[in-house]
Structure 1
């Protein structure tokens, strides 16, 4: 596998130049720049108001080693602390440029200057040092979306098998979606590496349950129910299969990073000890963003009903085990696990295919979402909830 060595010693498997907007008002200008300059990716923060969680997600996305350099497009009167962001980027040796629309001369002049700057950044990125990397250099995120009755029988257990192998190969693997593990408490707690990790799991599961009750909604969608998953417990038992059999090394928050090979749980539930309750995750794309903000080079995304989502920073490897979904939208799927049902293929065979796919994508081959041009992102505002992140 070949990666890109960054100034702070981290390794990326993609070499994007990020053009980001710091408020919704500057989105159009940033998007126009990326449309004109190959090698750039566009994303950003929409709100006029600051938010600690959203800032940390945005900051870690642009600091991610899959990003070579950054161009920030400001309007000029927004509240996002761009100066703080610039300092964080400079501190890790990442090149960053800023254009302020209110000072540059409006839309067209900012687009023109932005194109020139972005072209220079792409040329510089193309000179990045390429190095041979191993599995020990990779952080892998695990997420599911559009789950159905086949997920817990096919894609999820195959992902669990792959997760075990990836950990053995030296990867740091992060399982997201703590609220989608409700009802599996005793299984999870048995997997905890030590009493401290067990207490973190108990605390996170308690908050996830409290949040669901407070909002009167749990992580079961209409699509899940229509496709055979009628309770959070049914969905959780299938989702837990993604974790494989390895012990849980630690529980981490958004913006924290795994430190050694092992299986980690991402806890982004937050605290409910205030009056600003919000869901822990609004979309699959928001889930990807949290994993990327926790260092994921690649996200393995299991789906039963089908999904098309990709990401602007990190490749999304989709695996599906529903034969009907594969027949309808197989072009969006990276690993077909439907043979587990249709021809009694073993889980370990499909799991090995997934491990091979990780190696292939980490070597520079495009995943299906990348090849089809998917560039989704979703940065969720979560207000000032004490349990999420430090500003």
Structure 2
């Protein structure tokens, strides 16, 4: 699943009253006014991505007014941007103590805890955010993403449903609900959701790749190849996309096209063992056995435990009249757990040695 983070959703950074322009020294202001002045300055600096300067202003706001919940919240968010997740959690804690109904503080603390690897605690915080504000779509979405990553696809789908109920234009929620549907075997529904995500956000290119994969699993090879074509017309540096289109072309019996795509994948990533082996399979279909043996050998060199590559090299060697080499490869494939290796070795009279 593609996890898409949407941290740019401006939460809580609202300035109450505009700071007045005057020549009064900050140190002469009453504490409440000083706190508001430094808070507004911190917000401005945060919005310009001057996070360290914003942090200093929020420090001053809290020094002047220790019960300033919004300043704790916004300092926490600033610390999150600075990747100081433990301190961010502490500030969210303070904001929640002062304002227990602050749903954005629960959500922000959930994000910080997730960044710390505290997924159970993060899920609890997202849950609290949904309980505090049921129409806050991001909390449903992030909890759904956590549940997806745990493999609880039905619960994840239910959360994405709620996110879309709260925000019917939430492209990422359509995308991730589609991924949950795909895992549940609901291919038609998954394709529909990926399509909706692309309608809302045409540049959400991962949705094209995922829709292509779903169409391929549903047996729509033509549709899968069309999606890959559209993706690769926009982004030409993705080895996996070329490899996946190659696989779809292979299944559609376009072996020349498949070999070409695997080659493009390898031109981008020469360490891509999967593409070496798949091009070997395409060359076998094209009866170019020398190239097939060479490519399978490359895959084995990159991954000595690659059972399928041994199987393919065995086939190529058999056709090159290298029976001992073929038998050796098939036995190795069987040793690595590929039952077909044993069958080919037995049928070819390889024996035990």
Normalised by the length of structure 1, the TM-score is 0.20
Q: Which has the higher contact order (CA 8 A, sep 6+)?
A: 1
Whose helix fraction is larger, Structure 1's or Structure 2's?
A: 2
Query: Could you say which structure has the larger radius of gyration?
Result: 2
Give the structure-2-normalised TM-score. Answer: 0.22
